[in-house]
Structure 1
């Protein structure tokens, strides 16, 4: 009985001082479909976790099956496919771009980083290639969502 009273008192206090539900919101969950032997996929997953995502990773025999299922064109393919918040994510998309996507909520299928550009999350190293994060729109058109310069 004391516990129930304490919890309801805490809830009333939080409502009174204006603390809202987003403070207690769970991390966004991203479902990743990847090759079991791919080290860069593991690096990308760690990057997501380090940036506030909860990750459910599933090893699959053929990632192209998931790319097709989630409507990402083959020309934008990479080594892993994911879904989060109703969007598809293909390849080494930086967490900040996924967070922006989830905040802005554009009419789109999702984001893609084609190939495996050196210097992208999960592909860190001494060399950094320039690459684009592509927004795949629901009408099939593609635009650059964010450009990363090389070094």
Structure 2
């Protein structure tokens, strides 16, 4: 009976433990994009990477403001994530579920995931959507 109860618990709990799927479109040959994908995988996300020479156009079509376009674009549970956004910010986004299109970490800050940790300090992530652009997090 205990085995049945444990098996039932595991079967019911498995979907909640499943990794969140992430699709990343990136500029072909971008090393930091590879490192970022590995970082997200290590953080528990199920990552698929697609090389896309037109990912800038894809970013614009997804609603990313021109000044917020990074070297890759990710789609995670209906949200757009542009740039090297830390996993903690993505997890917060998925937990809070704000009425925005997505988040972006513009540029390639030296201490961002996928880059060398040569610099310390907060990373400023912006939210964007129908209401415009605003600071989402300084972490």
Same structural fold, with TM-score higher than 0.5 when normalized by the shorter chain: yes
RMSD: 2.3
* 1:76 maps onto 2:68 in alignment: yes
- Residue pairs, 1:7-86, within 5 angstroms: 10=4, 13-14=5-6, 21-25=12-16, 26-86=18-78
- State the number of aligned residues: 137
| CA distance in structure 2 between the partners assigned to 1:19 and 1:129 by the alignment | 40
Which residue pairs with 1:115 in the alignment?
107
1:55/1:74 CA distance change after superposition, 3 Å? same
- 1:91-143 deviations in Å (ceiling 9; x for gaps): 00001110110111110101100111111000123234653111113x24222
TM-score, scaled relative to structure 2: 0.87
Larger Rg: 1
TM-score, scaled relative to structure 1: 0.80
**Runs of at least 5 residues in structure 2 that lack an aligned partner in the other structure:** none
| CA distance in structure 2 between the partners assigned to 1:112 and 1:21 by the alignment | 35
* 1:147 maps onto 2:109 in alignment: no
1:123/1:129 CA distance change after superposition, 3 Å? farther
Moved over 4 A (4+): none
